[in-house]
């Protein structure tokens, strides 16, 4: 292979390595000093363009099919990125090596998986390409986790992205499931650790208001987390469609969220902080109830009562509109950060708009730190029976002043009872009026009232 002089050429056109820091498409292939394109780089260019005859001619002239440029990229890498199954087939027939890695550690198969070219994946697998070994793979078959799912059982043929693109739909054993896929596991240690943490947490969770964990793929790449699929979608889409909700509906939904969160916070022996509670991470089931989901940045309180991020949280990790001020300031925090987020969601249900919807998202946490809160624009009657007071307690600047979810559930139950009593007292006069009307109608239609005087005598 021409690796000894590969540093003299680089292919920069088209899709780049799935693991490259910058995968943006470039303009053209590099030229030699004399303006003539290196035939080996031209091979990569033709693979990118899908020129089968040109590739055939170059290979017949002696160009090495396994030439790697300065980045370790080969024509097979390029064709795999572009999804050129015909080119891949030709290169494989001419001896292309399926196991070569580029400078970032990516193989042609890894590139095909990243860009979701199923036909190319099958071709490479047929010629001996192996998926990278998963970081969680065990040597002894007895150590394979009970929750392990064979990836061949997951059918992605009709897959679509759901919930912010984090999950996609797949078919598994006759049902639809939501699959969270981690593709770049062999290069990003932080993502691997986050995957491990989320998986360890999901195995412990069982509650009607928390999304159900079904299993995972950990013994092969890409690694995946499989959870129940809720076809009604996330709560963000629902709020966009419905706008402001009736207070009774908002309280019902708030109770669902609070019950799920109370379960997490009172989990034994470790309390669980969600740390990314916002409408996109809340799902609706077939009955219309809500379930808390997506625990990618969740934290567990094992020994200490507070946690602190190793690095500042960014807007890529969570939505700034719902983040508590102590998280934004990168201070120690506890379960009360979820209570803060809950307050904003509850107010959003009544108001029908995002928290501080007139501000750019990056400016919202600065407002929270300055002790500003989204204004109450809806009529006071929509915040009756202590609903407004509950929201204000939940988003208090001092975390220790915020109630627990156990206390929140009790308050919401009382508010719900008040609404039920109001409905009851509204129904009773209506029923009395209907009964009175029925008595009058019966009196008019009774035989005695219609009898003539002679008959009465």
Distance CA 456, CA 451 (A): 7
Partner residues linked to 177 by β-bridges: 170, 228
Please report which confidence band the pLDDT of residue 25 belongs to, taking 50, 70 and 90 as the band edges: very low
In this prediction, residue 28 carries a pLDDT of 44
- Residue range 246-257, pLDDT digits in tens: 999 999 999 999
In this prediction, residue 455 carries a pLDDT of 44
> For residues 75 and 158, is the Cβ–Cβ distance under 8 A?
no
Residue 353, pLDDT > 70, answer: yes
Distance CA 127, CA 79 (A): 15
Query: In which residue are the tokens 């739909």 written?
Result: 169
Angle between helix axes 75-82 and 85-93 (nearest 10 degrees) is: 160
Give 216's contacts (C-beta < 8 A, 6+ positions apart).
145, 147, 148, 149, 199, 223, 224, 225, 226
- Residue range 359-398, pLDDT digits in tens: 999 999 999 999 999 999 999 999 999 999 999 999 999 9
Residue 33, pLDDT > 60, answer: no
| Chain mean pLDDT for the chain | 84
From 73, 66, 79, 101, select the one nearest 7 (Cα to Cα).
73
Q: Pull the structure tokens for residue 398.
A: 């001092």
Please report which confidence band the pLDDT of residue 337 belongs to, taking 50, 70 and 90 as the band edges: very high
- Residue range 418-430, pLDDT digits in tens: 998 887 655 555 5
Average pLDDT over residues 49-72: 93
Query: In which residue are the tokens 């997490």 written?
Result: 264
- Residue range 180-237, pLDDT digits in tens: 887 655 556 777 888 888 888 898 899 999 999 999 998 887 788 999 999 899 999 9
Please report which confidence band the pLDDT of residue 163 belongs to, taking 50, 70 and 90 as the band edges: low
Residue 432, pLDDT > 70, answer: no
- Residue range 105-156, pLDDT digits in tens: 788 988 888 788 989 999 999 999 887 777 777 778 788 889 999 988 999 8
Report the run of H or E that residue 242 belongs to, with start and end. Answer: helix 235-242
Distance CA 135, CA 151 (A): 16
Q: How would you write 145-204 as a 3-class SS string?
A: CCCECCHHHCECCCCCEECCCCEEEEEECCEEEEEEEECCCCCCHHHHHHHHHHHHHHCC
Distance CA 420, CA 159 (A): 43
Query: In which residue are the tokens 């065990």 written?
Result: 138
In this prediction, residue 14 carries a pLDDT of 60
Percentage of the chain beyond pLDDT 70 is 79
Partner residues linked to 272 by β-bridges: 300
Residue 4, pLDDT > 80, answer: no
From 190, 199, 194, select the one nearest 219 (Cα to Cα).
199
Q: Is 394 helix (H, G, I), strand (E, B) or coil?
A: helix
Percentage of the chain beyond pLDDT 90 is 55
From 370, 376, 400, select the one nearest 388 (Cα to Cα).
376
Handedness of CA 197, 234, 414, 380 (dihedral sign): positive
CA count, 13 A, side-chain hemisphere, 206? 4
Name the CA dihedral angle for 335, 340, 342, 348, rounded to a multiple of 10 degrees.
-170
Ramachandran class of 313: left when φ > 0, alpha when ψ lies in -120 to 50, beta otherwise: beta
pTM (two decimals): 0.69
Give 180's contacts (C-beta < 8 A, 6+ positions apart).
166, 167, 224, 225, 226, 227
Residue 285, pLDDT > 80, answer: yes
How is the chain split into domains, by residue range?
Answer: 2-126, 141-228, 235-414, 422-453
In this prediction, residue 101 carries a pLDDT of 87
Report whether CATH 3.40.50.720 matches the domain 235-414. Answer: no
The one catalytic residue in 276, 294, 334, 338 is 276
CA 328 vs. chain centroid, Å, equals 21
Pick the CATH number of 141-228 from 3.30.200.20, 3.40.605.10, 2.160.10.10, 3.40.50.720: 3.30.200.20
Q: 276 catalytic, yes or no?
A: yes
Report whether CATH 1.25.40.20 matches the domain 2-126. Answer: yes
Q: 375 burial class (0-12, 13-18, 19+ CB within 10 angstroms)?
A: exposed
- Residue range 74-112, pLDDT digits in tens: 999 999 999 999 999 999 999 999 999 888 778 898 888
Residue 417, pLDDT > 50, answer: yes
């Amino acid at each position: 292979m021409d690796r000894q002089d590969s540093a003299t050429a680089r292919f920069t056109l088209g899709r780049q390595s799935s693991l490259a820091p910058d995968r943006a498409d470039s303009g053209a292939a590099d030229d030699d000093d004399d303006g003539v394109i290196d035939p080996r780089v031209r091979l990569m260019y033709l693979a990118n363009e899908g020129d089968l005859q040109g590739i055939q001619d170059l290979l017949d002239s002696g160009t090495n099919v396994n030439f790697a440029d300065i980045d370790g990229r080969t024509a097979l890498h390029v064709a795999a990125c572009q999804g050129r199954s015909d080119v891949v087939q030709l290169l494989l027939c001419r001896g292309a090596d399926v196991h070569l890695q580029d400078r970032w550690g990516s193989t042609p198969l890894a590139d095909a998986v990243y860009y979701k070219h199923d036909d190319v994946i099958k071709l490479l697998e047929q010629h001996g390409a192996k998926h990278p070994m998963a970081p969680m793979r065990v040597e002894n078959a007895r150590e394979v986790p009970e929750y392990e799912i064979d990836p061949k059982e997951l059918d992605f043929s009709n897959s679509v992205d759901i919930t912010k693109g984090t999950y996609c739909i797949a078919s598994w054993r006759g049902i639809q499931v939501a699959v969270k896929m981690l593709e770049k596991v062999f290069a990003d240690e932080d993502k691997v650790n986050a995957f491990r943490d989320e998986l360890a947490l999901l195995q412990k969770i069982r509650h009607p208001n928390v999304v159900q964990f079904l299993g995972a793929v950990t013994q092969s790449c890409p690694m995946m987390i499989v959870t129940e699929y809720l076809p009604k979608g996330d709560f963000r889409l629902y709020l966009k469609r419905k706008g402001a909700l009736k207070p009774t509906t908002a309280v019902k939904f708030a109770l669902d969220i609070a019950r799920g969160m109370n379960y997490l916070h009172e989990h034994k022996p470790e309390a669980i902080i969600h740390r990314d509670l916002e409408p996109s991470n809340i799902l609706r089931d077939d009955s219309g109830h809500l379930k808390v989901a997506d625990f990618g940045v969740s934290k567990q309180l094992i020994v200490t009562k507070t946690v602190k991020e190793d690095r500042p949280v960014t807007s890529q990790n969570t939505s700034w509109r719902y983040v508590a001020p102590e998280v934004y300031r990168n201070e120690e925090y506890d379960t009360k950060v979820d209570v803060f987020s809950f307050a904003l969601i509850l107010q959003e249900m009544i108001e029908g708009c995002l928290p501080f919807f007139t501000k750019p998202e990056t400016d919202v946490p600065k407002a929270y730190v300055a002790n500003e809160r989204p204004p109450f624009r809806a009529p006071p009657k929509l915040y009756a029976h202590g609903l407004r007071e509950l929201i204000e307690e939940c988003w208090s600047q001092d975390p220790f002043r915020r109630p627990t979810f156990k206390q929140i559930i009790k308050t919401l139950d009382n508010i719900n009872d008040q609404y039920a009593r109001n409905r009851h007292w509204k129904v009773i006069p209506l029923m009395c009026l209907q009964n009175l009307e029925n008595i009058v109608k019966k009196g008019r239609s009774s035989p005695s009232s219609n009898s003539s005087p002679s008959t009465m005598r």
